[in-house]
Amino acid sequence: MAEAAPLRVGVFGIGALGFHHTRLAAALPEAELVGVHDVSPEAAERAAEAHGARVFDDPEELAAQLDAAVVAVPTIHHEAVAAPLLARGIHCLVEKPIAPDLESAGRLIAAADDGGAVLGVGHVEYYNPAVQALLAAAPGARFVEVQRLGVFSPRSLDVDVVLDLMIHDLQILQALDGSPVAEVRATGIAVLSDRVDIANARVAFESGCVANVTASRVSSERARKLRLFSPERYWSLDYQAQEIKGYQLGEPGSGGEAAYAYGDRGILPADVVVTPGEPLKAELEAFLARCRGERVPFFVDGEGGARALATALDVMRAIERGG
């Protein structure tokens, strides 16, 4: 059987993520990078020169030559850029969050349905190899604690820290526990920007699982960790190191030396093997495979992006009520 022809890909929006999407689209054999477009000609030229792409001043001219597009413009412009592409059958990978509100998200999903196009949402942390390994282990979470702390950057200040950073972990939580969200409590404060820069949320699911999630973009150091507790196991996931340290209950001596023991019960090491990789590359590969009609075990589609957005908006409303 002959190999399928590469998908013709264009990138709309050349910020930090758009630049890296351009790099990957130029390198992946599954893609043919047609060109890039940005409202800043200088940004588009830098990406084009670095990765051998053509700059399109007219987005319509670029769209006319595409099978698929990466939409990495500011969130408030996602619908305006992606909806017409989807309606004409061009597959779109839209950066997270899918939209600034659920109504806009719904219109993007409807446009994809009408055009018969794939709509993916760029929740890049979901494609972290450590996250994929944890999901494959089917951990049966009962309590989850997450810290996502970053130093201040003027990037992404068009949204608050919930939609900028915390939404990564809210989407992963919903992948770990598929039951509906039952309750959200949250608090947050603005520090350096005029939006919330630090937030903490307690998210309870109908299954009984509870998560405590903290996100900050004004910390003195970076930290990205998830700790998950189930009745028989404990995992500590380091997003940056792409590793998972684990422990499980068992009889001392049955599975190695116990870290702790009491009577006939012990806590035994049970680390999860993680094969390192670039999450953004895995995200784009999954999107292109989905565009080709292939089954993809891990993929964030429009509905998944909308669910993460809905929970993030619940967190923001809880912060406003607390204020």
Q: What is the pTM of this model?
A: 0.92
| Per-residue pLDDT, 250 | 74
Q: Do residues 107 and 79 lie in contact, with contact meaning Cβ atoms separated by under 8 Å?
A: yes
In the chain, the percentage of residues whose pLDDT exceeds 90 is 81
Cβ atoms of 196 and 142 within 8 Å: the answer is no
The pLDDT tens digits for 17-61 are 999 999 999 999 999 999 999 999 999 999 999 999 999 999 999
Tell me the C-alpha to C-alpha distance, in Å, between residue 39 and each of 16, 42, 44.
Answer: 14, 9, 8
What is the average pLDDT score of the chain?
92
In this predicted model, which residue has the larger pLDDT, 271 or 282?
Answer: 282
1 pLDDT more than 90: no
**The pLDDT of residue 3 is above 90:** no
- pLDDT over threshold 60, residue 2: no
Per-residue burial over 7-40, b if 16 or more Cβ lie within 10 Å, else e, is bbbbbbbbbebbbbbbbbbbebebbbbbbbbbee
pLDDT of residue 220: 86
Domains and CATH numbers, the chain: 7-123+281-300 (3.40.50.720)
pLDDT in tens, 139-157: 789 999 999 998 887 766 6
> Does residue 50 contact residue 30 with C-beta atoms inside 8 Å?
no
The pLDDT, as a whole number, for residue 192 is: 85
237 phi/psi in degrees, rounded to 5? -105, 125
pLDDT at 323: 47
* Range name among 103-107, 138-142, 160-164 with the lowest pLDDT average: 138-142
CA angle centred on 285, ends 125 and 153, rounded to 5°:
35
Average pLDDT over residues 208-233: 94
Per-residue model confidence (pLDDT) at position 144: 98
Section 249-276 average pLDDT: 71
Mean local confidence (pLDDT), 92-107: 97
Q: Taking a C-beta distance cutoff of 8 angstroms, is the pair 201, 145 a contact?
A: no
| Confidence (pLDDT) at 255 | 53
Q: What is the DSSP letter of 185?
A: E
Residue 133 Cα distances to 46, 85, 130, 242, angstroms: 36, 34, 5, 10
pLDDT tens-digit readout, 176-199: 999 999 999 999 999 988 889 999
Please report where in the chains the tokens 């996931």 appear, as a residue: 237
